[in-house]
Amino acid sequence: MSQKIKVLVVDDSAIVRKIITDALSKDPAIEVVGTAIDPYVARDKILQLNPDVLTLDIEMPRMDGLTFLKIIMEHRPMPVIIMSSLTQAGSKYALEALNSGAVDVLAKPSGSYSVGQLAEILPERVKEAAAAKIKFKTAKETVAREEAKKPVAGTSVTSSQFHPRQLILLGASTGGTEALKDVLTQMPDGLPGICIVQHIPAYFSKTFADRLNEICAFRVREAQDGDRVERGLALIAPGGFHMTVKWYGDHYKVHLNQDAMVCHQRPAVDVLFESGAKEAKKYVTSAILTGMGKDGAEGMLKLRQAGARTLGQSEETCVVYGMPRAAFECGAVEKVVDLPDMAKALVNAVTSLKE
């Protein structure tokens, strides 16, 4: 029998600690080795218990989770899943946590988002986190990394060079918020419309889109049903909704639905990619980025069979080489690309389309 994944649960709420512990204890591959009411207790228990994964609350007394996360990533990097409240502030802090090295963010049960839903997805997310590659990340390195990013082809490109049916489709999961930021902030304005599926909880996707909108050369926003796909615009699927594209004679629109989960996900990359294969065929340029599981592999295969350009992130640069691996192994990936080169590869593929 393989060794169990050891988890330390850090939350000041006894109720939340019990909910998380109960959810994880039902999975035979996971062992909750301890709990902590704040970062000071957690620090001692990390040294004592050597956990594989940490679940971490953001709002706690004595020291907030975000500060503790930055300390962890600088001195003892490990996979951390942030547990955040479904509020605007909670979403903002959660995205800052992802930027600071957390591998995933989950919403705490609240309202329509039930304890049962959390219990269903949390064990799988812990397994994904345990497989993630975590590196030391200092505050100075983070700042330097952000300052180094520049669009690969200036601030804009000439829109007249693109066919009206061209489309860029991107999919990502674990580690994807940072990977997408790396790619999108290096891409110029004026490209064909971009549609993105990132596995992210409802409520957090809008904050993610708003953050990208502030730092990209083009507009980025959370998609709404019926939105027109336009040049110089990136639409991100809302958490909890599948997103598809459809051609309407001279433009694409996106449509949202809450159909059954695909690969345990909604939104699912497969759903977006399969609609692209049907509606846009060879006019699609696509990339599948870091993430656990196989979502996107079948959809990307259909894209490639339809004549689309298909790129997959390299194993060396993935936080979790799951989705790109599945796509590569089924023959869906035309070209494997390191993350720092992905923006350039996408732009080159888009601009090289021949009628």
204 strand-pairing partners? none
The answer to whether 12 touches 40, Cβ cutoff 8 Å, is no
Q: Is 295 a catalytic residue?
A: yes
* CA pair distance 313, 315, nearest whole angstrom: 7
Residue in 38, 189, 199, 205 annotated catalytic: 199
Q: Strand 252-257 to strand 228-229: parallel, antiparallel, or no bridges (unpaired)?
A: antiparallel
Q: Is 12 a catalytic residue?
A: no
Residue in 84, 100, 173, 286 annotated catalytic: 173
Residue in 11, 182, 227, 295 annotated catalytic: 295
Q: Is 199 a catalytic residue?
A: yes
Amino acid in the structure at residue 228: R
| For residue 267, cis peptide bond before it (omega within 30 degrees of 0) | yes
All residues at 6 or more sequence positions from 196 whose CB lies less than 8 Å from its CB, including other chains: 169, 170, 171, 172, 180, 234, 235, 236, 237
The 10 Å CB-count burial string (b at 16+, else e) for 7-45 is bbbbbbeeebbebbbebbeebeebbbbbbbbbbebbbeb
Q: Any idea which residues carry the catalytic annotation?
A: 173, 199, 295
